[in-house]
Amino acid sequence: MPTLDDLKQIKELLYQKEEGLSPFAQKSKESRGRNKKEENDDPFRTEFQIDKDRIINSKAFRRLKRKTQVFYTPKNDHLRTRLTHTLEVSQISRTLACILNLNEDLTEAIALGHDLGHAPFGHSGEEALMKITKNGFKHNVHGIRVVEVIEGLNLTKETLDGILNHTGIGKPYTLEGQIVKIADRIAYLNHDIEDAIREDVIKEGDIPKEFREYFGKTKSERINTVIKDMYLNSVNQNEIKMSEICVNFLNNLRSWMFKNVYFSDKTKQEEYKIKKIVSELFKYYKNLHGEVEAIDYVAGMSDQFAIAAHKEICQK
């Protein structure tokens, strides 16, 4: 029967298991630590496993289920939300981390936390706050405030770096963070195609022939094409990268999606109303509590809560 001494060895065994990872992997034992030192040492989980569990149990994570991915307040339960997008990013990221022999726990922690700073109504909500706030608003920057200040999760610096740099020009310093940065784009481009077809914004045949020939015709084929390319160009390397041809095809597909899906008349038809809701809510709470608290409160709202709050406050 196990003894207390056996229990004390569990974490050391987890550290030893990580020694079998790639020399380019971020080991838990070599973490740069947390911004606040913690007195109690968890005997059963590594630092990155703790991060993952804290993110999953946060209130901000639970609210992602009612935040828009692309289509506002969808009535179709099969359309992606910010939460299901996050899970798909996590799945792609873990697959890549596994085949490249990197740290799956850190990769998953970053993936699960990467969008916690998103405002309601997707990027339209973000754009509304960007224009109306004094210093602008970026969901990746706000995500750090969410996990460190609002939720007080005290995550490791590796997870924080991955969340902060999952979008924009910044580059995560861990390969695990670099995986999530690319996996985020792989996920949204592919599942947004499915949702756009489901919402009759585009048809399968509208996707240009060159994309179907290069990536494949199905979501699974498209994702596997990019994963294979990333593996071949990143294995045993101190950087996560793709071939030039794959990068070009992804960028061209993204440009096509912006023109035909994200900026389409059907997708953008409610954008004015959405931005009006977010802007008026922000102005109302700013007058009551100041800009910082107003940003925290409005950005944390789900789509439905924002609509209900606006109806109660601004339409009396």
Task: Classify residue 275: in a domain, yes or no.
Answer: no
Q: Any idea which of 37-41, 164-168, 190-194 has the lowest mean pLDDT?
A: 37-41
Task: Classify residue 303: in a domain, yes or no.
Answer: no
pLDDT in tens, 50-67: 999 999 999 999 999 999
Q: Report the percentage of the chain scoring pLDDT > 70.
A: 96
pLDDT in tens, 85-113: 999 999 999 999 999 999 999 999 999 99
Q: In this model, does residue 149 exceed pLDDT 60?
A: yes
Task: Classify residue 98: in a domain, yes or no.
Answer: yes
Task: Classify residue 291: in a domain, yes or no.
Answer: no
Task: Classify residue 228: in a domain, yes or no.
Answer: yes
Q: In this model, does residue 276 exceed pLDDT 80?
A: yes
Sign, Cα dihedral of 64, 57, 48, 151? positive
Q: Report the percentage of the chain scoring pLDDT > 90.
A: 83
Q: In this model, does residue 316 exceed pLDDT 70?
A: no
What's the pLDDT at 271? 86
Contact 30, 66 (CB under 8 A): no
Q: In this model, does residue 5 exceed pLDDT 80?
A: no
- CA 223, CA 273: separation in Å to the nearest integer? 34
Number of structural domains in the chain: 1
- CA 61, CA 201: separation in Å to the nearest integer? 29
Type of residue at 264: S
Task: Classify residue 283: in a domain, yes or no.
Answer: no
Contact 226, 166 (CB under 8 A): no
What's the pLDDT at 31? 97
Which among 150, 174, 192, 158 is positioned nearest to 58, based on CA atoms?
A: 150
Contact 146, 140 (CB under 8 A): no
Q: Give me the chain's average pLDDT, please.
A: 93
Q: In this model, does residue 138 exceed pLDDT 60?
A: yes
Task: Classify residue 293: in a domain, yes or no.
Answer: no
CATH of the domain at 255: 1.10.3210.10
Range of the domain at 96: 46-268
What's the pLDDT at 112? 98
Task: Classify residue 246: in a domain, yes or no.
Answer: yes
- CA 186, CA 170: separation in Å to the nearest integer? 18
What's the pLDDT at 1? 61
pLDDT in tens, 202-239: 999 999 999 999 999 999 999 999 999 999 999 999 99
Q: In this model, does residue 11 exceed pLDDT 90?
A: no
What's the pLDDT at 107? 98
DSSP string, 208-260: -HHHHHHH-SSHHHHHHHHHHHHHHHHTTSSS----HHHHHHHHHHHHHHIII
